[in-house]
Structure 1
Amino acid sequence: MPTTAYLPPIRRPRRRIGRRVFDFSTEIVVMGIVNRTPDSFFDRGRTFALDRAVSAALAAAAAGAGWVDVGGVPFSPDTPEVGESEELDRVLPVVEAVAAASDVVISVDTFRPAVAAAAIAAGAAVVNDTTGLHHPQLVEVVADSAATVVVTHSRAQPRQHFPRPTYDDVVSEVKAFLAGRVQRAVDGGIPEDRIVIDPGHDLNKNTRHSLELTRRLAEIADLGLPLLAAVSNKDFVGESTGLAKPDRGAPSVAAATACALNGARLWRMHDVGAAVAAARMVECVLGLREPADLRHNMS
């Protein structure tokens, strides 16, 4: 095996999540995105219909996604309010159908404990909470299950604006926040090997903040937990390049690659096929895996 580039070490990198086993010391796992919403910021309802949501999840798995992230409520507070019962109606049928058809890991993007509990019972193996464990009962729900939780940096109340965020040092402040929320999860009974961290690109941050996080992501990965980079088609990608949402695919992969070079081991991406191909290349560059084929100048 070639010499591996320096990467912050991950404690307990080999993990069983749902029906799959991942080794985050040797692989980058791509998470496909399935929004069962009519007003998500990128796909604008393309997978709102149940059959389309299920098909999109299974297509992501077929394209190489290790797991799929199913959400029923947009993060943006500029979209109409979605009640708990409606969120359940949107999310649960997708989780049930995908779990019945595939062993792909399913995460549910929610901050509500009742939705998380029902989704876990339906077959979800991960709770992706973009509010940073804002609701204390969410810790109890995950602790009482076998599920993994994604702990994300976010300063605002759920679905509330956080205008003109400021930081003295965004990286050290995000790192401290995540360390504190991880400790809250562990104290609440969630084993460390069921925790993933996400620095929350764009969440209560401006573009300069997100770029600084990307450049110095190794400092956050040094917490020793698998780190998720959720960068696909986000505003910081658009503002950095001047590109509209439909044209942000390539720079999104570039941003994810930069995150991987600094320790990220999970990518949340819209274009799963392109992301998986890029991830396999980055794994080889980092020395995490051997090339798929060795013929050039070998004879």
Structure 2
Amino acid sequence: MKFANQQLDLTVPQVMGILNVTPDSFSDGGNFNNIEHAIKQVHLMIEDGATIIDVGGESTRPGAADVELQEELDRVIPVIEAITQRFDTVVSIDTSKAQVMLAAINSGAGLINDVRALQNDGCVDVVASCDLPVCLMHMQGMPRTMQAEPQYTDVVKDVIKFFEQRIQVCEQAGIQKNRIILDPGYGFGKTLEQNYQLLANQSKLLQLGLPVLAGLSRKSMIGNLLNNSVDERLAGSLSAAVLATLNGAKIIRVHDVKETVDAIKVFNAMVAQTNN
């Protein structure tokens, strides 16, 4: 798949490093919300094996408040410009605002990553006007309320139906299907049981014929299961990353890049032998 001036082989798993330039993200809020700290973290993640850096300026944790447009632009655009000037890597913009998408594209971003699956005003048009890949994520509700008693008829079938509808909207707007990546949205409007139902059946998303991105790193589905805090979730996150990869994910979005890259290398070594 072509990401701006970069080509990534999604026949093998790729690791996306998370860079939250926010004061309030659930795991690393406030750690990288100045350019110097952000660039140091990007350098480290690339050295550790990340091939995509996902830049976000608005927290999507449960209960998160909305961020004004100009504030989000001020957070993410200088960082994207700094990364693209210094590193030969794919930069992803994690946003649901059309204006932020457009500014990020003009600053060198190579992937649009939208937790609202281009449902906000103008987003479909912006993505249709460029030639970049887009990741559509499933979320029931909005960040402020998404964990207030989420309900599904069948979480796996409902997520697949949602993606079928969004893919159709994208194609009708001129977004080629081969530019689309799907994210089942672990932790976004799903109970603990529903998250693990989705993980166990994630391979069913492959029937849609598109790459799958999985973001499970340090999430409450791990913390609530193991009864541990955010900084105690590495082992659970690595287990989830390997399980998601086993079930077909081609991009794994994580905070702990080096450890995840190592885990994926072990997975790849096993796969290489099973194919011999």
> Which category describes the TM-score, using the shorter chain as reference length?
over 0.9
Distance in 2 separating the partners of 1:88 and 1:52: 18
Question: Which structure has greater helix proportion?
Answer: 2
Aligned residues of 1:283 and 1:289 also touching (Cα < 8 A): no
Report the equivalent of 2:4: 18
**Are residues 1:47 and 2:39 paired?**
no
What's the offset of the Cα at 1:228?
A: 0.3
CA shift, 1:264, in A, is 0.5
Look up the equivalent residue of 1:64 and give its one-letter code.
Answer: G
Aligned AA (2:145): H
Partner deviation per Cα, 1:118-163 (whole Å, 9 max, x = no partner): 0000010111100122214111101111221100001214x43131
Give the Å deviation of 1:44. 2.7
Aligned to 2:113: 128
Report the counterpart of residue 10 of structure 1 in structure 2.
none
Q: Any idea what SS the aligned residue of 2:208 has?
A: coil
- 1:28-177 paired onto structure 2 within 5 Å: 28-76=13-61, 78-157=63-142, 159-162=143-146, 163-177=148-162
Q: 1:218-255, CA deviations, whole angstroms, 9 ceiling, x for partnerless residues?
A: 11122111100000000001111122110101110100
Match of 1:189, SS state, is coil
Q: Which has the larger radius of gyration?
A: 1
What residue in structure 1 maps to residue 243 of structure 2? 258
Report 1:167-206 matches (<5 A). 167-206=152-191
Q: CA deviation at 1:268?
A: 0.2
Counterpart AA for 2:211:
P
Alpha-carbon distance in structure 2 between the residues aligned to 1:122 and 1:142: 15
Distance in 2, Cα, partners of 1:290 & 1:261: 14
Q: Compute the displacement of 1:90 (Å).
A: 0.2
Q: Give the Cα–Cα distance (whole angstroms) in 2 for the partners of residues 124 and 72 of structure 1.
A: 14
CA contact (8 A) 1:131 1:156 kept: no
Quick check: 2:181–2:211 contact (8 Å CA) kept in 1? Answer: yes
> Using the alignment, how far apart are the partners of 2:61 and 2:262 within structure 1?
30
Whether the aligned pair in 2 keeps the contact of 1:131 and 1:155 (CA below 8 Å) is no
Question: Structure 1 regions of 5+ residues with no counterpart?
Answer: 1-14, 292-299
Alpha-carbon distance in 1 for matches of 2:97, 2:274: 38
CA 1:232–1:288 in 2, change beyond 3 Å: closer, same or farther?
farther
* 1:237 matched to 2:222: yes
Question: In the alignment, which residue of structure 2 is the partner of 1:225?
Answer: 210
Distance 1:92 1:248, change over 3 A: same
In 2, Cα distance between equivalents of 1:81 and 1:153: 18
Structure 1 residue 78, shift from structure 2 partner: 2.9
Is the deviation greater in 112-121 or in 76-85? 76-85
Structure 2-normalised TM-score?
A: 0.95
CA contact (8 A) 2:80 2:109 kept: yes
Once the two structures are TM-superposed, the CA of residue 204 in structure 1 deviates from its matched residue by 0.5
Q: Report SS of the residue matched to 1:275.
A: helix
In the TM superposition, what are the counterparts of 1:210-221 in structure 2 within 5 Å? 210-221=195-206
